[in-house]
Amino acid sequence: MSLPRLIEALRSQGVADCELAIVLGSGLGVLVERVRNARSIPYADLEGMPKSSVPGHAGKLVIGTLGGKRVVLQQGRVHLYEGFAVEEVTRAVRAFAALGVPELVLTNAAGSLRLDAPPGTLMRITDHLDLQGKARLPRVQAQYGTPWDTTLGSELDAAARQVNQTVPQGVYAALLGPSYETPAEIRMLRKLGADAVGMSTVAEAIAAHGAGMRVCGVSCLTNYAAGITESVPNHEEVVEEGRKASQRFCDLLEAFASRGSQA
């Protein structure tokens, strides 16, 4: 019964009036500073909301206006590697969908598998590889095919041009974690067609799409994956590179949110 309780908690906070939901990955929470008339709600005050223990995930919702649109920002997510079930990892986005929020932007910090996409690159997710090895949600809560909306993706590309950014497109591979991948695993992922690798996002995309939301996504490539260069990935680097890219990330997401707005 946790999902119904969370839906009612979010309804009482005005989430049903939001036009766009954004999930903020590690080190990307700075976007909340762009939200006007912002109201912050700690997860502890939302019955049924799972709480992350990972650094870089603040654990609060922020509701307000971004780019002239009413938005809800999820500042911090929970992960399968923390021991949460798929139902818990996807609970917030399914609650957003149940309240009628039509669009979802999923963001994350990820490792780059491409030398031409160095740390600090923002990549638009075009598709994914689900290699997390966890049971998905019941069939009624998922749909076949890719969850990544091509129209929203094109609008994200247009927002990038509007703010004079080059945002490459690529495939995101999701592994369970929490350990970083080995060089051999990265060679495998490159052969499978992945451009970036991380430990989140895919279950949320599938669940939100299955619940009727339109979904797009952005990876902030915060490090080269193991074996691409001689550097060794670590979480402190992930958060720091996210911080360095924060201005461009905020510009991109604000421009995207402003589509069709008079603000």
Catalytic site residue from 2, 52, 58, 82: 82
At 246, give phi and psi (nearest 5°): -60, -40
Domain membership of residue 54 (yes or no) is yes
Domain membership of residue 90 (yes or no) is yes
Domain that holds residue 121: 2-257
Predicted pLDDT of residue 143:
63
Dist CA 41 CA 247 (whole Å): 24
CA neighbours within 13 Å on the CB side: how many for 113? 24
Dist CA 220 CA 159 (whole Å): 16
Catalytic site residue from 159, 200, 205, 209: 200
Predicted pLDDT of residue 54:
66
128 is catalytic: no
Catalytic site residue from 108, 112, 219, 223: 223
Domain membership of residue 124 (yes or no) is yes
82 is catalytic: yes
Catalytic site residue from 123, 199, 213, 245: 199
Catalytic site residue from 8, 47, 52, 81: 81
200 is catalytic: yes
235 is catalytic: yes
Catalytic site residue from 57, 196, 205, 224: 57
8 A C-beta contact, residue 205 and residue 89: no
37 is catalytic: no
Domains in the chain, number: 1
219 is catalytic: no
CATH code (residue 249): 3.40.50.1580
Domain membership of residue 98 (yes or no) is yes
Q: Is 16 in a helix, a strand, or coil?
A: helix
Domain membership of residue 262 (yes or no) is no
Predicted pLDDT of residue 96:
98
121-131 and 36-42 as β-strands: parallel, antiparallel, unpaired?
Answer: unpaired
Consecutive 10-residue runs of the chain (263 residues): their mean pLDDT? 92 96 90 96 93 72 97 94 93 97 96 95 97 72 80 98 97 92 95 97 95 96 88 72 86 94 54
Domain membership of residue 24 (yes or no) is yes
109 is catalytic: yes
Domain membership of residue 200 (yes or no) is yes
123 beta partners: 219
Predicted pLDDT of residue 263:
45
Domain membership of residue 263 (yes or no) is no
Catalytic site residue from 9, 21, 109, 123: 109
